[in-house]
Amino acid sequence: MKKWWLLVPLALFLALASFLLRGLFSDPRTLDSVLVGKPVPAFTMVDLFEPAKHYDAALLADGKPVLLNVWATWCPTCYAEHQYLNSLAREGVRIVGLNYKDERDKAMAWLSKLGNPYAVTLFDPDGMLGLDLGVYGAPETFLIDGQGIIRYRHVGDVNERVWNETLKPLYNGLKP
Amino acid sequence: MIRKLLFILLLPAAFLSMTAHCAVDAYTFDDPAKEAQFNQLIKELRCPKCQNQDIADSDAELAKDLREKVYEMTQAGKSRQEIIRYMKARYGDFIHYQPPVRMDTIILWLAPVMVLVGGLIFIFVRASRDPAVALSEEEKKRLRRLLDEKEPRP
């Protein structure tokens, strides 16, 4: 009598173990964005520096790719990534800031002290645009193409490695 | 004795009452049905920030915002499904504690059933095996002899 079927539990165990092992090394903190491939949700936001100035989603659809960087002064990782954003801006990468659940004075002081990499900074004190974007922390960075479609979302800080390995190829691919 | 037993039985209840408190701020409703819907939803929606708490329990800033949103939408007369759809459109299926039945989640739904069925099949197969072979006359005699034997005296 062949006893091959005795190996079935072992095979099942190995399949399950390999599946669970994969899960062990995945980062539970990075949630897939449901918005990738969708347009930026409609919004009306005020400028951080000029409360009378309003922007809508057209700001993020002017024919060129743009990074939308969600940040706040209460966020230590934002501090860590800020200088890298400055150098990206110097290279000519267009970055729009979204100041998320923060205070206007603090945010303005932060930018005057650390430098301002943002072409425009939107002010979102109650986090409602953040909510529409599915933001659940800071920093987060969205790569948006010239038509206002979200192409990629990065959770966590943008550093040299993240930029060179992930964002830059995508960004360059979107250039007209 | 009885007291001890009662104490042991009631111990979990004490812990339960500790965890059952919510981080919920006072929301007032104009309609008990809306209040019930709100209370149910905030226990069903998962906080994306803390990941293993519902938004009723979580103290994260984001959970407060989400509670606020659920409150607003409920007060505006939005249905349960509308609110869940709104949240899923922004945070994905992750935010709802009841995963949808789809090809990639079907295992979550079927696994318990499969374990149960597998166990039943196993038991059934075991039980329907041929019973042990009957003893021959010779063996029966020998068994009786053995059983009848007195224990040897020390």
B14-26 residue pLDDT tens: 554 444 444 456 8
Query: pTM (2 decimals)?
Result: 0.74
For the segment B28-37, the average pLDDT, to the nearest whole number, is 92
Local structure of B45: helix, strand or coil: strand
Comparing CB atoms, the residue among B61, B65, B90 nearest residue A34 is B90
Which chain A residues are within 8 Å of B121, Cβ to Cβ? none
pLDDT value of residue B2 = 61
Q: pLDDT tens digits, chain A, 176 residues: what are they?
A: 677 888 888 999 999 999 889 888 877 667 767 889 999 999 999 999 999 999 999 999 999 999 999 999 999 999 999 999 999 999 999 999 999 999 999 999 999 999 999 999 999 999 989 999 999 989 999 999 999 999 999 999 999 999 999 999 999 999 87
Spatial distance between the Cα atoms of A99 and A72, rounded to a whole number of angstroms: 6
How many angstroms away from the CA of B94 is the closest CA of chain A?
8
Q: How distant is the Cα of B24 from the closest Cα of chain A, in angstroms?
A: 18
Residue-by-residue DSSP string for chain A: ---GGGGHHHHHHHHHHHHHHHHHHS-TT-PPPTTTTSBPPP-EEEESS-TT-EEEGGGG-SSS-EEEEEE-TT-HHHHHHHHHHHHHHHTT--EEEEEES--HHHHHHHHHHH----SEEEEETT-HHHHHTT--SS-EEEEE-TTSBEEEEEES---HHHIIIIIHHHHHHH--
Q: How far is B38 from chain A (nearest CA, A)?
A: 19
pLDDT in tens, A140-162: 999 999 999 999 999 999 999 99
All residues of chain A having their beta carbon less than 8 Å from the beta carbon of residue B65 are: 126-128, 131
Predicted pLDDT at B102: 85
